[in-house]
Chain A
């Protein structure tokens, strides 16, 4: 087994190989099958399964990052700007983007997940839902209302590993607050930083 060799002429080693084949199959037969009877029995999918991409519409700012990063350009976004008038106490009018259309063509999507990674506002999520087959390939272009329905199937993010670093949000919240900087005049004169000494000139490279 360790090295390639010519076929064994020894009938006993051949018989041993044949018997081990029969033993393996017999053992497999006496154990439960690995089959999941899918339509009758829901598959147990791992938490990060890539079934479909769901959209949380209110988080989307129409920034178009996902559409631009998409390797096969299967995300379609239309938006327009709306002006929010200034409040009663001064200020100025502000503009915000309003999403008109967000569509993903799942006949083109290659499930790379780049759009989800790149979204800065957590508007796109993986959902393990996979049962959206269609008879006609053109029916796989799904608009934002359908993408929004899939948000209900997005599982909560899996817990972090035992000793992993805190997530960025938690680490930021736990960081000790910065103390207010004292006014410059209150500092002692002696503590004024001296100008930094000039760096010694870099040693010439010995490359000839």
Chain B
């Protein structure tokens, strides 16, 4: 299926489906984080909003965010300041459009979708950079610089890990990767999977890699000056990123929709495989302390990059030898 023979109605429907997933799944992950984090800390988490175990807490939060005043600092670069949340949020929406969840279910089946996803998620980090620069705030600037350093350090192992999978599958298309996947990959590509997971968490600026927004030292990093809906967009971008990278992990390393069940349950398998990954990302946040900036760089350059390069070499040798 090429992207050229779609009717307008089809395009609209597909876009609407992606948008719906984009608006619902991050909320589910956010709610899961509330509850999982609560119980891991011996609390209950939200219990009142919506009546049953606080299921509507994030809806209530959204309503609250909408009511808040939209502030722009006087010294800020107004246009950049206002556009930064969109710059952080929209790339994830775009990236989600090319991730296949079911045989034939992909909003835009582009040939090099693996590359496309990486590029789009890389653009999202620029949102934090722009926010850090445009806020005219020292904490925002420090956070933005840390974010840039982190982007440089962790984009490389991320790309190398995906490159290993693409090399193994012989294609840059995510759909093609799923078709080429076999259970042996679980072992063969395990180092790449670990590197991808760590780099993805770092990409999302989530603990233990939340140095750019470390609230105990630089307030909230690039988000310091933001409030209301624009701040909510940054939060939504974070959770949309969790969804994207969890699904991407399932697609790249766990075989996506493939599972021992009738073909129509494909999308269910994708979600079922992505869910533990999202849970793991939340779990890391609860259990682990924040890495210092030098530890963060050390881990990337002395740990992840060599492992990813080794994996790439291993994959290449195996592909050529067989």
Give A contacts to B, CB under 8 Å.
7, 18, 21-22, 24-26, 28-29, 31, 33-35, 37
Given known A-B contacts A18-B287, A18-B288, A25 and B43 have beta carbons under 8 A apart = no
B43 touches A35 (CB 8 A): yes
Q: Is the interface of A mostly helix, strand, loop or mixed?
A: helix
Q: Whole-angstrom distance from the CB of A33 to the nearest CB of chain B?
A: 5
List 18 extra interface pairs beyond A25-B286, A26-B283, A29-B39, CB under 8 A. Answer: A21-B288, A22-B283, A22-B284, A22-B287, A25-B40, A25-B41, A25-B283, A26-B40, A28-B41, A28-B42, A29-B40, A31-B42, A33-B39, A33-B43, A35-B42, A35-B43, A35-B44, A37-B47
Chain B 23-43 interface 0/1 with A at a Cβ cutoff of 8 Å (1 = within): 000000000000010111111
Q: List 8 A-B contacts (CB under 8 A).
A: A7-B295, A22-B287, A26-B283, A28-B42, A33-B44, A34-B42, A35-B43, A37-B47
A24 in contact with B287 (CB, 8 Å):
yes
Task: Choose among A7, A24, A28 the residue that contacts B39 (Cβ–Cβ < 8 A).
Answer: A28
From A28, A35, A37, B40 is in contact (CB under 8 Å) with A28
Residues from chain B with Cβ under 8 Å of A29 in the complex:
36, 39-40
Q: How far is the CA of A21 from the CA of B38 in the complex (A)?
A: 16
Q: How many A-B residue pairs have CB under 8 A?
A: 36
Residues of A with C-beta under 8 A to B47:
37
Q: Which B residues lie within 8 Å of A7 (CB)?
A: 295
Complex Cα distance, B42 from A107, in Å, reads 33
CB-defined contacts of A25 to chain B, threshold 8 Å: 40-41, 283, 286-287
* Cβ-defined contact, B287 with A33, below 8 A: no
Which 10 residue pairs spanning A and B have beta carbons closest together? A21-B287, A25-B40, A29-B39, A25-B287, A29-B40, A35-B44, A22-B287, A34-B42, A33-B44, A25-B286
Chain A residue at smallest Cβ distance from B285: A25
A7 vs B295: C-alpha distance in the bound complex, in angstroms?
A: 10
Nearest B residue to A24, CB-CB: B287
Instruction: Find the B residue at minimum CB distance from A17.
Output: B288
Q: Considering only CB atoms, which chain A residue lies closest to B287 in the complex?
A: A21
Residues in A with CB closer than 8 Å to B286 are 25
Cα–Cα, bound, A29→B44 (Å): 10
Q: Which residue of the partner chain A has the closest CB to B280?
A: A22
B67 to chain A, nearest CB (A): 23
B44 surroundings in chain A (CB, below 8 A): 33, 35, 37
- The reply to whether A34 and B287 contact each other, CB–CB distance below 8 Å, is no
Across-interface contacts of A21 in B (CB, < 8 A): 287-288
**Min C-beta distance of B50 to chain A, whole Å:** 16
For A37, list chain B residues within 8 Å (CB): 44, 47
Measured between beta carbons, the chain A residues less than 8 angstroms from B288 are 18, 21
Q: Is the pair A33, B283 in contact by a Cβ cutoff of 8 Å?
A: no
Select from chain B the residue with minimum beta-carbon distance to A20: B287
* CB closest residue in chain A, given B42: A34
- In the bound assembly, the distance between CA atoms of A22 and B36 in angstroms comes to 13
Nearest B-chain residue to A30, judged by Cβ? B39
Residues in A with CB closer than 8 Å to B36 are 29
CA distance A28 to B45 in the complex (A): 14
Q: Which residues of B contact A31 (CB under 8 A)?
A: 42
The residue on B at minimum CB distance from A18 is B288
Complex contacts, A33 vs chain B, CB 8 Å: 38-39, 42-44
CB neighbours of B283 from chain A (8 A): 22, 25-26
Q: How far is the CB of B233 from chain A (nearest CB, A)?
A: 29
Give complex CA distance A4, B25 in Å: 44
Provide the bound-state CA to CA distance between A34 and B155, in Å.
Answer: 41
In the complex the two chains form, what is the Cα distance from A31 to B287 in whole Å?
16
**In the bound complex, do residue A34 and residue B40 qualify as a contact, i.e. CB atoms below 8 Å apart?**
no
User: Once bound together, how far apart are the Cα atoms of A7 and B294, in whole Å?
Assistant: 12
What chain B residues lie within 8 Å of A24 (beta carbons)? Answer: 287
Among B43-91, those with CB < 8 Å from A are 43-44, 47
